[in-house]
Amino acid sequence: METDQNQPAGLRVIPLGGVGEIGLNMMVYEYGDDIIVADCGLMFPEPHMLGIDIVIPDITYLRERADRVRGIFLTHGHEDHIGALPYVLPELPVPIFGTALTLGFVREKLKEFDLDSSTDLSVVKPRESVTVGPFKVEFIRVSHSIVDGCALAIRTPEGVVIHTGDFKIDQTPVDGELTDLASFARYGSEGVLALFSDSTNVERQGYTLSERLVGEAFDEIFPRCPGRIIVAAFSSNIHRVQQAVESAARCGRKVLLNGRSMIANVAIARQLGYLRIPDDVLIDLREMPRLPPEQVCMITTGSQGEPMSALTRIAMDDHKQIKLEKGDTVILSSRFIPGNEKTISDLINHLYRRGAEVFHEKVSEVHVSGHASREELKLMINLVRPKFFVPVHGEYRHLVKHSRLAQRVGVPEERCLVVENGAVIRFADGAAEVAGSVANGRVFIDGKGIGDVGAVVLKDRKHLSEDGMVVVIISINPQTGEILYGPDIVSRGFVFEDESQEYLDETKKIVLDLLAGMSPEVLKDWNEVKQEVRRILRRFFNKTIERRPVILPLIIEM
């Protein structure tokens, strides 16, 4: 790890998350004694992170330099860019800069944690700049699957760094607000030191389809629906909601919003003027039954088949107020997020069982991506004409391919840097190098516990999940080694106890025989006894039923 005393001059850029993974976005920009951070996101747990609620970046590096952090700049309001704020702010109570809708979502989030009144939130408009220490940061509008997203043009003494955030280049955006290519071109003409660009869709040829196409798909589908329409979408995708509302109104339907975040985010967006819904279009759950089905459109969360979501409960015929019928249509206007394919597939099957018709991105144009495809990524590089190129926001293979794409449009190979989280990219005197790496990683949040669940606990949970647990209770006189109690055997998740009494009795006998064969000396060494019990039962279970439960011998002293 670099020591700060010897810190050479130059701009240091350090990803603490979001590089080599999708999620957890957090980029440190450091010059001298000043640090700013771009984004502060979370990641949803992967399947092996048993019992974990969310994952946030390890901010040890910033914690050790807390007095030097001047502010956090947010590109947009998605969870993988703002979700870690409530956990980071208590340690780094710095000003936060972002656009109006981004900060609207942030404020809502901070309220849950009682941090909203103590946090300094500054709204910045696109093309406005904020100066913090040696950094001058201009917000540049970009299109994305959320409104009010921006790239950051970060001017430093070493030069300008363009930090794209998540972007696409939509030529027919729903609100008419285009990706501000002119500003990117302006910086490109002036000279850009480095471009840090969104690698998510680098494997997709061509251009990403426009958001407006989804509205057109709605206009084609909605009028043909005989019964009710349910549109499932991400509540942060304001333009998607806008289009669904407009298409619904155009065919005489009222709109019901469902899902806590849908209702909250729509309220924020309407209040800030980003979403226009006439009051008479909205209905609530009580009014819905009074309308004929063909006059109803519900916009809801739950597109990923999340177990407790309203849509899943509707699909399982488990929702008190909403019962699906033949003639009803469900539109999953969202992405099949990798990892969720099975739950979404199950959701779709259940919806068909209820008699509904289902549209989704694999069979219909009811969703478009929010990330640039290859041609847009090339366009960005060609406009910005950076000296150095660093692909971010992608898994390793996306970074490699984005680096190759940059080379294809003319950035020399030696100036394309594929790095991992924690890498210190140092720019000085027109050169760039990876100058070591710093502490980085993932912190697990389980319930109220932050970071206490790590590899050891996860390993135990995994082991428990596979074949359960067997507890062996014995009491041994520590002086004589006489067995005073047990062995008693209790298990969970191992075998079906109601039918396995014989087997468990056999298990008891195995342990009894083992103990009977031990000398009083050995029996006084409880660690030795536990080890032997574990060993013999492991062998017994493996041999007889090929299962490997967690074996927990408990020796108690009376």
List residues binding its own copies (CB under 8 A): 20, 46-47, 50-51, 203, 338-339, 341-342, 345, 348-353, 358, 362-363, 395-397, 400, 446-449, 452-454, 456-458, 460-469, 471, 473, 475, 484-486, 488, 490, 492-496, 499-500, 544-547, 550, 552, 554, 556-558
| Token duo for residue 193 | 């030191």
176 annotated to bind ligand: no
CB-based contacts of 92, cutoff 8 Å, min separation 6: 59, 62, 63, 66, 69, 72
Count CB atoms within 10 A of the CB of residue 114.
Answer: 9
175 annotated to bind ligand: no
Stated as kind and residue range, the H or E segment containing 230 is strand 229-232
Among residues 545, 519, 514, 541, which one has the least CA distance to residue 530?
514
Q: Which residues pair with 121 in a beta bridge?
A: 96
State which amino acid sits at residue 222: F
| Token duo for residue 344 | 């979404």
Helix (H, G, I), strand (E, B) or coil at 433: strand
SS (H, E, C) 42-79: CECCCCCCCCCCEEEECCHHHHCCHHHEEEEECCCCCH
Nearer to its own copies, 209 or 464 (CB): 464
Q: At its nearest, how many Å lie between its own copies and the CB of residue 401?
A: 9
Q: At its nearest, how many Å lie between its own copies and the CB of residue 185?
A: 31
Q: At its nearest, how many Å lie between its own copies and the CB of residue 447?
A: 3
Nearer to its own copies, 150 or 405 (CB): 405
Q: Answer yes or no: 319 catalytic.
A: no
Residue 312 Cα distances to 298, 309, 330, angstroms: 14, 5, 12
Q: Answer yes or no: 371 catalytic.
A: yes
Helices (H), 259-316: 260-271, 310-315
Cis peptide bond upstream of 487, omega within 30: yes
Q: At its nearest, how many Å lie between its own copies and the CB of residue 432?
A: 22
Q: At its nearest, how many Å lie between its own copies and the CB of residue 434?
A: 16
319 annotated to bind ligand: no
Q: At its nearest, how many Å lie between its own copies and the CB of residue 430?
A: 29
48 annotated to bind ligand: no
State which amino acid sits at residue 99: T
236 annotated to bind ligand: yes
Nearer to its own copies, 280 or 502 (CB): 502
Q: Which residues pair with 130 in a beta bridge?
A: 137
Nearer to its own copies, 32 or 451 (CB): 451
Count CB atoms within 10 A of the CB of residue 532.
Answer: 18
349 annotated to bind ligand: no
* Annotated catalytic residue, options 58, 148, 170, 198: 198
Count CB atoms within 10 A of the CB of residue 227.
Answer: 18
Nearer to its own copies, 315 or 432 (CB): 315
368 annotated to bind ligand: yes
Q: How far apart are CA 76 and CA 87, in angstroms?
A: 18
* Annotated catalytic residue, options 163, 360, 371, 402: 371
Among residues 64, 45, 87, 59, which one has the least CA distance to residue 3?
64
| Token duo for residue 12 | 């240091």
Q: At its nearest, how many Å lie between its own copies and the CB of residue 349?
A: 4
123 annotated to bind ligand: no
318 annotated to bind ligand: no
Count CB atoms within 10 A of the CB of residue 488.
Answer: 14
| Token duo for residue 310 | 């309203």
Helix (H, G, I), strand (E, B) or coil at 155: strand
| Token duo for residue 220 | 């084609």
Nearer to its own copies, 158 or 446 (CB): 446
Nearer to its own copies, 245 or 332 (CB): 332
Helix (H, G, I), strand (E, B) or coil at 553: strand
Annotated binding site for Ca(2+): 51, 53, 446
Annotated binding site for substrate: 235-237, 367-371
Task: Give the catalytic positions in this structure.
Answer: 198, 371
Annotated binding site for Zn(2+): 76, 78, 80-81, 144, 166, 393
Annotated binding site: 51, 53, 76, 78, 80-81, 144, 166, 235-237, 367-371, 393, 446
